[in-house]
Structure 1
Amino acid sequence: MKQIVLSIIAYAVQRDIDTAKLCRLAGINLTALKKTNAPPVTQQQLDALWLHGARLSGDPLFALHFAASVQPAALGVVGQIIQTSATVGEAITHAAALTHYVTDQCRLEIARNNKNFTVRFIPAGGNVNEPTMAFRVLVELLMVITIHEVSGLMLEKIVPLTVRLPYNVPDAAAYEQIFRCRPTKRAGEYALVFDIRYWEEPILTANYELQDLLLKKVAAMAPQQPAKTAGTLQARVYNYLLANSYLGVISLEEMAANFNLSPRSLQRKLKEEGVKYQDIADAVRKSLALYYISSGSYPLKDISYMLGYNELSAFTRAFRRWTGSSPLQYQSL
């Protein structure tokens, strides 16, 4: 719980929220929370954090957008075990067995047949068809983490066959963007259904040392951002893209949703600063490409996938445009 709360606060910083005010409204002492002997965060404090995060950001889907950006470290030891699993099926099986380390509000149940596998989120108690807002936020968070984390570990964008919720969602298009398919209402069920082909897929980043290196890249690369842009919208966009780049460089539409803007408004605001979203995305991709190649830890094909290129040839063309040389030529320097 503590690690998730710290991750929510870190996400609030990325959203340009006054975190001192957020913590005060939620009744959280951030200084005390950072200490090893900090008292546990209560459910009431966590609920208040979600509520005031949404209000201060002006984003009613604040929790859902946080879920789409959360990194494995937010799950503590559970995240580490998932990272070091060999296959998707093994990672999900471990996650199901260890859910109680993340929350006591629900458990995971897995069912398989020869066509698909289903991950069900079973409430610990209460009426699943009329859940509290806090419980809805929690389960939606866990569902989105399941989709996005497995995608990040596989370096492939997983799309569920079905997402089932026991209520109608308030913004179907926004939910579809984050869940990657439009949720359907089914009484009494929170569930994700995936094609069975994913079950035995190997996790390419199962080597924890490589994953740890990947997640530490932000601190190493932050100084590359031009000082003159500090505090601007483009700086916030750049930092957000970099901090969440282990899941790939997100689209303009996804970025706009995270800033609670329309794509057109985001483009207009960036244009006022003399830059386009694609320019910032390319700057991040270039920085990441140089970092990955220089580390010597990743094959070029994997780097291509991590940066969102389906074909190595497309990555090679982009790299040549950025540097004047091919990735292979740069690698040999």
Structure 2
Amino acid sequence: MSTVRGTALLGFKAFCASQGIDPASALAAVELPEDPLDARLSGAQFNALIDLCAQRSHNPLFGVQFGLRQGTQSLGTLLYAMRSSGTVGEALNLLTRYFHIHSDGALVQLERQAGNALLLYDVTDGTFISVRQTVELAMGIASCLLRELLGHAWQPKSLLLRHSAPANRLAYRALLGVAPRFDSPVNAWVFDESLLTTPLSTTDARYQQLARQHIDELARVTLEELPSYLQKRLRNELAHGPVTLHDMAEYMMISPRTLQRYLRAQGSGFQALLDQTRRSMAARYLCDSSLSLTQVAGLLGYADLSAFSRAFTRWNGVSPQQWKQRMQHLPR
């Protein structure tokens, strides 16, 4: 089960009030305490809370607006360490390395592609089917972070979102300065790669050292966390093609045999984790996006649609088409 730091709900009550929602009632509906800031929240409860608030407020932009209102304050110690970095690129590398302290059910990555930088975000907890609101909340926070680090130099090229476009898609431009490209293969802010070299104002070097020591202590990964870590890597790599045990072992700089032994010690195995990851990603794509089944098959690393359809039917007892039709008739 994934978790989120309670600080992810900083400013939640005031924002709910501005949206005409009773925050105490919303928290109680998902079985969260009335004062959640000092708690470690269940990722499922957090995701359900943001989704519920979007429904109760009749505001499909609730998530992104809450992210923009909250800004970077929820990142806590990690934000101070980032501000102490030498460049924007170094700051974002810290974010990708330590974000799991803030939320261990999501993954942040920084990639460079053809002169562009991509700050990517993905909810890796496969138990959630729809994550539209949570993703948009995170992208709103990321927008605030990049604007804080870059100032007037922050000029995004595009915002990519995996889920399908809502009816009021033009409202995003007013909020974010850019109209998102929906039904994209990833969730990402895209901007000029040269901005990564932008220098940041230096701060107390001793404070920076203490901040990094603190997050290093929190970031120690145990053997028990290996299956979850591996699933995060699988989610990132599957869109680029089939992923094998050998690929993952090479990335982790251990032998395939050692990786399998570690996974067996945790009651799991590579193929089981691969199936679980594909199954949860498939459900999310079919629920949240308008991608074709052939596109979904490719994003899950299948060679063709028939291979994906056979696997999906084995997991769920119905074909992808039948499953999607059932989901469309459920209340959302």
TM-score for the superposition, normalised by structure 2: 0.52
Structure 1 residue 122 displacement after superposition: 4.3
The match for 1:66 is: 66
C-alpha contact (below 8 Å) 2:159/2:179 kept by paired residues: yes
Runs of 4+ in 1 over 4 A off after TM superposition: none
Shift of the 203–107 alpha-carbon distance from structure 1 to 2, 3 Å rule, reads same
The match for 2:42 is: 42
Distance 1:71 1:187 in 2: 24
Instruction: Give unpaired runs (5+ residues) of structure 2.
Output: 205-332
Structure 1 residue 113 displacement after superposition: 5.1
Structure 1 segment 28-177 matched on structure 2, within 5 A: 28-31=32-35, 33=36, 36=38, 38=39, 40-112=40-112, 115-124=115-124, 126=126, 132-133=129-130, 135-156=131-152, 158-170=154-166, 171-177=168-174
Distance 2:96 2:126 in 1: 20
Q: Does 1:27 align with 2:31?
A: yes
Distance 1:123 1:145 in 2: 15
Number of residue equivalences:
199
Among 182, 185, 188, the residue aligned to 2:185: 188
Shift of the 192–174 alpha-carbon distance from structure 1 to 2, 3 Å rule, reads same
Residue identity in the other structure for 2:32: I
Structure 1 residue 187 displacement after superposition: 4.7
Shift of the 165–51 alpha-carbon distance from structure 1 to 2, 3 Å rule, reads closer
Distance 1:79 1:118 in 2: 19
Shift of the 18–157 alpha-carbon distance from structure 1 to 2, 3 Å rule, reads farther
Among 196, 200, 204, the residue aligned to 1:199: 196
Q: What secondary structure sits across from 1:30 in the alignment? A: coil
Residue identity in the other structure for 2:194: R
Structure 1 segment 311-322 matched on structure 2, within 5 A: none
Distance 2:183 2:23 in 1: 37
Instruction: Give unpaired runs (5+ residues) of structure 1.
Output: 209-333
Shift of the 106–12 alpha-carbon distance from structure 1 to 2, 3 Å rule, reads same
Shift of the 150–124 alpha-carbon distance from structure 1 to 2, 3 Å rule, reads same
C-alpha contact (below 8 Å) 1:17/1:57 kept by paired residues: yes
Structure 1 residue 67 displacement after superposition: 1.0
Distance 1:56 1:185 in 2: 24
TM-score for the superposition, normalised by structure 1: 0.52
Shift of the 153–49 alpha-carbon distance from structure 1 to 2, 3 Å rule, reads same
C-alpha contact (below 8 Å) 2:115/2:192 kept by paired residues: yes
Aligned-residue identity in percent: 23
Structure 1 residue 74 displacement after superposition: 1.0
Q: What secondary structure sits across from 1:168 in the alignment? A: coil
Among 178, 192, 198, the residue aligned to 2:175: 178
Residue identity in the other structure for 1:27: E
Please list the CA deviations of residues 296-332 of structure 1 after superposition, one character each: whole Å capped at 9, or x if unmatched: xxxxxxxxxxxxxxxxxxxxxxxxxxxxxxxxxxxxx
The match for 2:13 is: 9
Q: What secondary structure sits across from 1:121 in the alignment? A: strand
C-alpha contact (below 8 Å) 2:161/2:186 kept by paired residues: yes
Distance 1:122 1:167 in 2: 12
Structure 1 residue 183 displacement after superposition: 1.6
